[in-house]
């Protein structure tokens, strides 16, 4: 029973994908919709197979992943560093709050054009958009995590006369880790979106650019193929964070496969 | 040479001299503890007993250095605990504290939790873990050193918390209703355990509880507190020989003390 529950998704996920594909195929056949608008799944898979042969696809993929990861890296530094700092220094948080919120309420898409003006058509503006999009959830989660340290735990450190650094590194940071990682999960997805949106806006490289190119060529099956590629890469990025979570907070409930029975 | 030592006048381990505590709150000042004097001798087991809200925790936290008294002096191990706003490092090292919650860090294994105070003192990892293992043995959680805290029951977590408080060999052990969250049977076991540990460690204990039975079973001396503001209502010496067994609870002498204390508590309303 437990075994079935634990490994259920290995069956349900492929089954659901299969049902979805069959429904899609039946829709294409019976509705008579033009294959140019909605191609049949078989054609899309074939198209994706062809796409995979293209050397340029992997160049574009590499560029997008590179921009995402660099953008995410900066977002982590700003988000975790800034969040920890603001969480520890109340007046700084109050002073900077409107500015942090401002970076979020500006339609960031509008910023892209400005960045391209400043930095040209290379990777820099894309990385910048990626960072701006991703740092916010990381920062707010870190801030919340650092601030919501258990009072009993603080008493322990205080009674042991721990230094500020010891309290930060052994208590506050570790207790904030689950929240920080929850921020990273959202952050990596936003960093990815940021990079692609940046590529939409200008330049000649990346999966976002390729999407635009196929759109101009009215290449619907190609677009579907890229969609598959984009989705798969997104999954890989997200999975990387899950792996990091397992490594960093093995003690946390979110990592548990099953609830342990208290011993004795 | 097994000659009995003559009684030497040793200064008391804990001296609370005219301590008082007022809390500033949004709706005025709360007078939590009225001017109080308490002395605890070396190796004595003192229990602070009283109804909820009478200031037991406040007094214990003042001894622990977690709260600064509004007035008066706290002397721990013959040193002033407070010098201005600063706590005395040497005095703090003689204090081990066990809270009502085990307060183990969930991200450390049991042995790392037990060894945390040594880590803070810069003791090397091997030495730390050796000591932690010996302590886990002492508090009878051997075999659980590598577990996460949440894998242990409440009673076992509290044993780990006691081990952590003992890890740097403090002379004084402060406990604030350490078994308050445990069921009655586990609680009896833990009371026997704390007696055994106290006798083997030769430490001084201040133990807070609102259970009369627990107080009489454990204490050399019971300080009964009355509420609002907290002040000493009575002091009872308990002189049953040690180690005490659970069975002493059925003795008439034991029940007489319990009855007297209950009447005093009820008189407080
Ligand atoms: N930080 C605080 N701020 C304001 N009032 C407090 C604070 N801590 C304790 N008190 C008050 O002081 C009194 C004694 O509390 P406490 O020492 O916790 O009692 P006990 O441990 O005996 O139940 C209570 O009336 C409580 O409300
Ligand atoms: Mg209390």
Residue whose CB lies within 8 A of the most ligand 1 atoms, among B24, B33, B57, for a mutation test: B57
pLDDT tier for residue A264 given thresholds of 50, 70 and 90: very low
Q: How far apart are CA A119 and CA A246, in angstroms?
A: 38
Is residue A246 scored above 50 in pLDDT? Answer: yes
Is the whole model's pTM more than 0.90, yes or no? no
Across the interface, whether the CB atoms of A262 and B101 are under 8 A apart is answered no
* Joined tokens for residue B201: 């460690």
Assign B9 a pLDDT band (cuts: 50, 70, 90): low
Q: For residue A148, what is the DSSP state?
A: -
Q: Taking CB atoms and an 8 Å limit, are A177 and B150 in contact across chains?
A: no
CB contacts, 8 Å: B103 with chain A? 150, 152-153, 155-156
Closest residue by Cα to atom 26, ligand 1, is B53
In whole angstroms, give the CA distance from residue A39 to residue A33.
Answer: 9
Question: Residue A250: pLDDT band by 50, 70, 90 thresholds?
Answer: confident
**CA A128, CA A105: separation in Å to the nearest integer?**
16
The reply to whether ligand 1 has any atom less than 6 angstroms from the CB of B55 is: yes
Q: What is the pLDDT of residue B12?
A: 87
Nearest Cα residue in chain A from B66: A159
Cα B14 to middle of ligand 2, angstroms: 20
What's the CA gap between B140 and B148, in Å, rounded?
Answer: 16
Identify the pLDDT of residue A81: 93
Q: CB contacts < 8 Å between A and B, how many? A: 66
Q: CB-based burial of residue A14 (10 Å sphere; 0-12 exposed, 13-18 middle, 19+ buried)?
A: exposed
CA of A144 to the centre of ligand 1 (A): 27
d(CA B176, CA A7): 45
- Per-domain boundaries in chain A: 1-32, 49-256
Residue B104 DSSP symbol = -
Is residue B237 within a helix (H) or strand (E), and if so which, with residue range?
strand B231-237
Compare all CA atoms of chain B with the CA of A175 and give the residue at the minimum distance: B107
Across the interface, do B99 and A249 touch by the CB < 8 Å criterion?
no
CA of B178 from ligand 2 middle (Å) equals 10
Averaged pLDDT, B208-217: 92
Q: Does A150 touch chain B (CB under 8 A)?
A: yes
**B136-181: pLDDT as tens digits:** 988 888 889 899 998 888 888 999 999 999 999 899 999 999 988 8
Q: How far is A172 from chain B (nearest CA, A)?
A: 11
Answer yes or no: is the C-beta of B105 below 6 A from any ligand 1 atom: no
Q: Is the pLDDT of residue A149 over 90?
A: yes
Q: How confident is the model at residue B242 (pLDDT cuts 50, 70, 90)?
A: confident
Handedness of CA A169, A92, A154, A162 (dihedral sign): positive
CB proximity B156 to A under 8 Å: yes
User: Any idea which ligand is nearest the CA of B224?
Assistant: 1
ipTM, interface predicted TM-score of the complex:
0.88
Strands B14-25 and B28-40: antiparallel
State residue A237's pLDDT score.
92
Closest partner residue to B144 (CB to CB) among A153, A177, A263 is A263
**Domain A49-256 belongs in CATH node 3.90.1150.10:** no
CA torsion, ordered B165, B168, B174, B178, to nearest 10 deg:
10
What's the mean pLDDT in A121-144?
92
**Alpha carbon nearest to ligand 1 atom 11, residue:** B32
Q: Does B44 touch chain A (CB under 8 A)?
A: no
A62 has pLDDT over 60 = yes
Q: Cα separation of B58 and A261, whole Å?
A: 36
pLDDT, chain B, mean: 89
Residue B187 has pLDDT above 80, yes or no: yes
Q: Which residue has the tokens 């509008």?
A: A110
> Could you tell me if the CB of B58 is within 6 A of ligand 1?
yes
Smallest Cα distance from A152 to chain B, Å = 6
Q: Specify burial of residue A43 (Cβ count, 10 A radius: 0-12, 13-18, 19+).
A: middle
């Amino acid at each position: 029973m437990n075994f079935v529950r634990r490994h259920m998704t290995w069956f349900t996920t492929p089954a659901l994908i299969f049902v979805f594909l069959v429904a899609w195929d039946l829709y294409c056949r019976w509705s008579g919709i033009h294959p140019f608008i909605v191609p049949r799944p078989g054609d899309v898979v074939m198209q994706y197979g062809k796409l995979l042969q293209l050397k340029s696809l992997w160049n574009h993929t590499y560029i997008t992943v590179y921009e995402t990861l660099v953008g995410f890296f900066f977002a982590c530094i700003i988000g975790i560093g800034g969040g920890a700092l603001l969480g520890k220094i109340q007046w700084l948080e109050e002073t900077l709050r409107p500015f942090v919120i401002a970076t979020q309420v500006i339609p960031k898409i509008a910023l892209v054009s400005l960045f391209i003006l400043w930095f040209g058509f290379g990777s820099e503006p894309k990385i910048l958009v990626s960072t701006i999009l991703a740092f916010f959830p990381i920062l707010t989660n870190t801030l919340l995590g650092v601030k919501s340290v258990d009072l009993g735990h603080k008493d322990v450190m205080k009674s042991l006369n721990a230094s500020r650094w010891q309290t930060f590194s052994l208590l506050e940071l570790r207790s904030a880790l689950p929240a920080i990682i929850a921020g990273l999960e959202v952050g990596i997805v936003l960093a990815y979106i940021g990079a692609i949106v940046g590529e939409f806006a200008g330049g000649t490289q990346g999966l976002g650019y390729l999407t635009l190119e196929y759109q101009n060529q009215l290449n619907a099956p190609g677009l579907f193929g890229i969609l598959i590629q984009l989705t798969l890469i997104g999954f890989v990025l997200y999975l990387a964070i899950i792996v990091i979570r397992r490594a960093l907070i093995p003690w946390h409930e979110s990592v548990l496969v099953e609830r342990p029975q208290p011993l004795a | 040479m097994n000659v009995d030592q003559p009684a030497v006048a040793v200064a008391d381990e804990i001296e609370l001299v005219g301590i008082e505590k007022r809390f500033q709150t949004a709706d005025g000042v709360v007078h939590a503890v009225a001017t109080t004097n308490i002395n605890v001798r070396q190796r004595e087991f003192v229990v602070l007993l009283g109804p909820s809200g009478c200031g037991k925790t406040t007094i214990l936290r003042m001894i622990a250095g977690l709260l600064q008294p509004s007035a008066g002096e706290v002397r721990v191990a013959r040193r002033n605990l407070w010098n201005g706003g600063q706590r005395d490092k040497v005095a703090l090292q003689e204090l081990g504290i066990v809270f009502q919650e085990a307060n183990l860090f969930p991200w450390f294994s049991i042995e790392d939790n037990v060894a945390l105070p040594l880590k803070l003192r810069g003791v090397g990892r091997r030495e730390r873990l050796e000591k932690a293992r010996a302590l886990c043995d002492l508090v009878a959680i051997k075999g659980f050193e590598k577990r996460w805290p949440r894998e242990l029951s409440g009673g076992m977590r509290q044993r780990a918390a006691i081990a952590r408080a003992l890890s740097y060999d403090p002379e004084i052990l402060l406990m604030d209703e350490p078994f308050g969250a445990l069921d009655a049977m586990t609680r009896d076991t833990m009371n026997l355990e704390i007696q055994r540990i106290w006798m083997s460690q030769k430490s001084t204990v201040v133990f807070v509880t609102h259970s009369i039975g627990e107080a009489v079973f454990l204490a050399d001396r019971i300080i009964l507190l009355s509420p609002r503001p907290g002040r000493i209502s009575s002091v009872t010496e308990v002189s049953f020989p040690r180690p005490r067994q659970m069975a002493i609870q059925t003795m008439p002498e034991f029940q007489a003390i319990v009855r007297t204390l209950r009447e005093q508590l009820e008189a407080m309303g």
